[in-house]
């Protein structure tokens, strides 16, 4: 797991953090290599080798980080889609319960409202910690328990009851998928390897700056900033319930609002 303090930062702070650290490290490495050039055996300077190494490492880093960035964006898109599906499933269950119309079904509807409210108030704030809410789990259990009290009295009611159970099961399945997706972020190994690789790139760039020119300095620092900005974007997108760019519960809020405002038919 990468550093937990990143969870406390805004998106803009993360975007500034890694490029700033990279520039400071590059400056320090350049100073050390130039100051201790002779003790380190860097007296012979091969610009062609360093140019090739810089080009190859930069190209490889861009390709890998670009691929991972697209993968992370796809994961976030799937999360948003799953939340919308969960909201739709909740509304579908509610419609079937209203259609069933019995006292037990309407009691189950109220339990469904309580469960949906718990998603927003109890569970969503806890998603950033990597788990769901026990309060919401209890509300979901109460909802399913209330479904057991529905007693179909006709073949039509039996078919409708089966549809209610299927829809309720789908709702629970989508919630489990949402909670599981919290743990689907990139593994800590990726961040460890990425940081070590970025350090390697900075070492090569620092060696290239042993004999520095203004154009060379600007070029290498700009490339390092661009590379670390891409890495920062991956960090931001890989935290879908944190920071400024987050997976929103708006779809579930809208579903709850429409359910609460529904006017029930009079028996």
The tens place of each residue's pLDDT in the chain, 267 residues long, gives: 445 666 667 778 888 889 999 999 999 998 888 877 777 666 666 667 777 887 888 888 888 888 888 877 777 777 778 889 999 999 999 999 998 888 898 999 999 999 999 999 998 888 877 778 899 999 999 999 999 988 888 888 889 999 999 999 999 999 988 887 766 567 777 888 888 888 988 988 888 888 777 888 888 899 999 999 988 888 887 766 555 556 778 889 999 999 988 766 655
3-state secondary structure 224-254: HHHHHHHHHHHHHHCCCCCCCCCCCCHHHHH
Please, are residues 91 and 255 in contact by the beta-carbon 8 Å criterion? yes
Would residue 107 count as lying in a domain?
Answer: yes
| Helix-then-strand count for the chain, H and E | 9, 0
Tell me what pLDDT residue 5 has: 66
* Residue tagged 């960090």 (tokens): 235
Would residue 104 count as lying in a domain?
Answer: yes
Would residue 157 count as lying in a domain?
Answer: yes
Would residue 171 count as lying in a domain?
Answer: yes
Tell me what pLDDT residue 250 has: 85
Condensed to tens digits (0 to 9), the pLDDT of residues 146-159 reads 999 888 888 888 89
Q: What pTM, to 2 d.p., does this model score? A: 0.70
Would residue 201 count as lying in a domain?
Answer: no
Residue 253 lies in domain:
78-185+247-267
Would residue 47 count as lying in a domain?
Answer: no
Would residue 41 count as lying in a domain?
Answer: no
Would residue 170 count as lying in a domain?
Answer: yes
Please, are residues 210 and 37 in contact by the beta-carbon 8 Å criterion? yes
In angstroms, rounded to a whole number, what is the distance separating the alpha carbons of residues 108 and 104? 6
Tell me what pLDDT residue 121 has: 92
Q: State the total domains in the chain.
A: 1
Task: From residue 200, give the alpha-carbon distance in Å to each of 56, 81, 192, 222, 224.
Answer: 12, 38, 12, 17, 12
């Amino acid at each position: 797991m990468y550093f937990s303090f990143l969870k406390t930062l805004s998106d803009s702070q993360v975007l500034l953090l890694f490029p700033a650290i990279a520039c400071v490290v590059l400056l320090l490495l350049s100073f050390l290599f130039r100051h201790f050039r002779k003790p380190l055996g860097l007296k012979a300077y091969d610009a062609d080798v360093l140019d090739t190494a810089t080009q190859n490492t930069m190209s490889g880093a861009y390709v890998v980080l670009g691929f991972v960035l697209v993968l992370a964006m796809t994961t976030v898109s799937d999360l948003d889609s799953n939340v919308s599906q969960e909201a739709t499933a909740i509304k579908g269950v509610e419609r079937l319960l209203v259609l069933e119309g019995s006292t037990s079904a309407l009691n189950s509807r109220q339990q469904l409202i309580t469960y949906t409210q718990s998603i927003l108030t109890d569970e969503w704030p806890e998603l950033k910690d990597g788990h769901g809410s026990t309060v919401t789990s209890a509300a979901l259990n109460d909802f399913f328990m209330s479904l057991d009290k529905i007693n179909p009295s006709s073949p039509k009611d039996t078919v409708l009851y089966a549809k209610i159970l299927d829809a309720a099961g789908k709702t629970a399945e989508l919630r489990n998928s949402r909670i599981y997706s919290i743990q689907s972020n990139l593994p800590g190994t990726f961040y460890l390897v990425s940081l070590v690789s970025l350090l390697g790139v900075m070492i090569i760039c620092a060696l290239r700056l042993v004999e520095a020119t203004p154009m060379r300095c600007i070029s290498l620092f700009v490339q390092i900033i661009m590379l670390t900005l891409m890495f920062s974007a991956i960090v931001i997108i890989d935290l879908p319930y944190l920071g400024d760019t987050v997976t929103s519960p708006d779809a579930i809020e809208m579903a709850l609002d429409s359910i609460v405002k529904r006017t029930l038919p009079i028996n």
